[in-house]
Each structure stands twice: as structure tokens, then as C-alpha cells.
Homo-oligomer: A and B are copies of this chain.
Amino acid sequence: MAPYRAVHSIDELRAAIAELGLPAVLKTTRLGYDGKGQRVLREPGDAEAAFAELAPHPLVLEAFVPFEKEISVVVARGLDGTVRAFDAAENVHRHHILHTSTVPADVPAGVEKHAAMLAKVIVVALDYVGVLGVEFFVIPGDRPTLMVNEIAPRVHNSGHWTEAVCLTDQFEQHIRAVAGWPLGDPRRMADVVMQNLIGDEVEMVPGGLDGDTQPHLYGKAEARPGRKMGHINRIVRG
């Protein structure tokens, strides 16, 4: 976990900046997603405007983590305590919104194994039943390390690729878990890239698609900028 300080006032924010240094990320502690509810502070002069924008919610200032990339693991725990993880995905964001999840992730095997183990530890520690997404920063170094970035207690955008190439996908797995059924086999049968369709990007369907690409549209009436309108899964021939 990144070092952080609770922030209730502009004075507390200034003190937190002095302690943690810059850059740092100011975040709300409620309802943040897709970059909403957070501001990156690069210099002391950024503090006031960012605080004004995000207050009066309770805030935290987090030290900036110099991560190399983000990976995520979707893990499931059944009512009987069985735990099964899907393969790790490598996530690329654009404008703070998930752009692509690529599987397999381009990380050393040891890193992927470690991520799966951490996701399983988390789902057991929470005594959670269902599907849960865990995002990790990969911190570069002689031996890359992992830092948990986000825990999402639900099916996860970075797990939508499982629909295309796994014997059991994350949606079926979640239903199996909460219905008290045995978890299904999460094996991945091919390589895959999931790409979100944000705003106008949804117009690439169906024109831009080939036979290895499966579109999923969410049926939202209006394609507003930054709005997740659907996603495509592109199966990579082995």
C-alpha cells in the first residue's frame, strides 16, 4: 500500500504534501472510479484548486507510486471456500479509463504467480463469496514488486476477456459462487485483448470487426465522452 495521509482541510493537505512530497494523488474516499474523484498534485500551487474541487468529501493524499505497469487478477471464492483465480491481465489506461486488458500479461512468471497468490489471500482474508477484482501496480527493480492498487468486490472490467476464451467466464463464476454451486474451471484457452469502447468508439462496431473479434454493447442510449459504451474481445490466434 502507498503511504497516505487523511485530509480534512487545506491545512492538513499542505502538511501531508510536506510529509509525502510531490507528485502525489489527492483522492476522495467515496465513489471514485475511472479517474473520477482524484487529482494529481505536481507542485504546491496545485493544492488549493484540487482541494476545492474534491471537498467536502473526506479525502486522502497518497504518495505517487512510480509503477511500470498495472496488472489485475480476477479471483473467485465459492460458498464452500474454494478459491480459483483467472490469469492475470495487463491493463493500459487512457484518460484514467481502462483502455485495454491483454492476456497473458507481459510480466515474469514469478510476478503473475505472486499476484494470483495475493488475490487469493485477499479474498480469503475478507471471507468473501463471489468474484472480486484486484489491481496491482508492478514496481520496477531488480526483482519487480507488486502493490495492491484497488480491490473491486464484483465482476471487473479487466475480467471481461474471460467471456471469450475461458471455459468458465467471470459472470458465470460469480453466479456459481453466490448460488453455492461448485466453482467452474477458469482455464484460458487462447490469448486475448479486451478493448473498452469509450464514447464515440462504439461506432467502430460492426464496421471495424473481423471474425476473431466479439463485440459487447451495453445498450446505453447516448454515447457521451468518457462513457463506457461496450467492449470488444479480440482473440489472438495461437
- Listed in ascending order, the chain A residues whose CB lies under 8 Å from chain B are 164-165, 167-168, 172, 176, 179, 181-185, 189-190, 206, 209-212, 214, 235, 237
Partner of A211, one of B184, B212, B214, B237: B184
Q: A214's contact among B172, B183, B210, B212, by CB below 8 Å, is which?
A: B172
Complex-state Cα separation, A115 to B108, whole angstroms? 45
Look across to chain B and name the residue whose beta carbon is closest to the beta carbon of A164: B167
Q: In the complex, what distance in Å separates the CA atom of A193 from the CA atom of B165?
A: 19
**A184 to chain B: closest CB distance in Å?**
5
Q: Is the CB–CB distance between A206 and B235 below 8 Å? A: no
Is A212 within 8 A of B184, CB to CB? yes
B185 and A167: CB pair below 8 A? no
How many copies of this chain does the complex contain?
A: 2
Q: How far is the CA of A18 from the CA of B89 in the complex (A)?
A: 69
Q: How far is the CA of A237 from the CA of B172 in the complex (A)?
A: 18
Contacts of A164 in B (CB 8 A): 167
Q: Is B183 a contact partner of A211 (Cβ separation < 8 A)?
A: yes
- Across the two chains, which residue of chain B brings its CB closest to A173? B211
A237 to B187, CA, bound (A): 10
* Given known A-B contacts A189-B189, A189-B190, A181 and B209 have beta carbons under 8 A apart: yes
Interface contact A182-B167, CB-CB below 8 Å: no
Decide if B190 touches A210 in the complex (CB within 8 Å). no
Can you list 5 A-B contacts with CB-CB less than 8 angstroms, sorted by A residue number?
A165-B167, A167-B212, A167-B235, A182-B211, A189-B189
A185 touching B212 by the CB < 8 A rule?
A: yes
A167-B235, A172-B214, A235-B167 known; A206 and B189 CB under 8 Å? no
- Pair A214/B184 contact, Cβ less than 8 Å: yes
Write the chain B residue with the least CB distance to A167.
Answer: B235
Q: How far is the CA of A182 from the CA of B209 in the complex (A)?
A: 8
Complex Cα gap A69–B134 (Å): 50
The answer on a CB contact under 8 Å between A167 and B189 is: yes
| A185 in contact with B206 (CB, 8 Å) | no
> Chain B nearest CB: distance from A173 CB in Å?
10
Quote the shortest CB–CB distance from A191 to chain B (angstroms).
11
Which residue of chain B lies nearest to A235 when distances are taken between CB atoms in the complex?
Answer: B167
